[in-house]
Amino acid sequence: MTIVADDGAVGGLAAAVVEQAVRDYRSLAGTTRETKLVSSQRLVCGAALRELEEFFTEEGGAQQYLDLVGSSISPSAILTRLQCN
């Protein structure tokens, strides 16, 4: 998933945060192991997935980053698409 930032450096950083959350979700969702090394950190997969799912709720923080980018995509739409893949 690529998010286009139209707001310079701040928008670029906001887009990078959301894109990293998407990559981390895909990485964690694709494993059956209890822990996994992601971005140089050992994560407990179930707990990390729950945190990412919470991030993609309307109150979870992703909306603020998407607003900075000027995106009309809702966090819940991103989560739904991630869960379908």
How far are the Cα atoms of 28, 47, 57, 68 from residue 76, in angstroms, in the given order?
Answer: 18, 19, 6, 17
Give the span between the Cα atoms of 10 and 66, in whole angstroms.
11
Kind of pairing between the strands at 35-38 and 41-44? antiparallel
Tell me the pTM.
0.78
Residue 24, Cβ density class (10 Å: 0-12 exposed, 13-18 middle, ≥19 buried): buried
Give the span between the Cα atoms of 33 and 18, in whole angstroms.
24
What mean pLDDT comes out for the span 23-51? 80
pLDDT tens figures, 43-54:
777 888 899 999
What mean pLDDT comes out for the span 37-62? 84
pLDDT tens figures, 64-84:
999 998 999 999 999 999 999
- pLDDT of 60 > 60? The answer is yes
Domain boundaries, the chain: 8-84
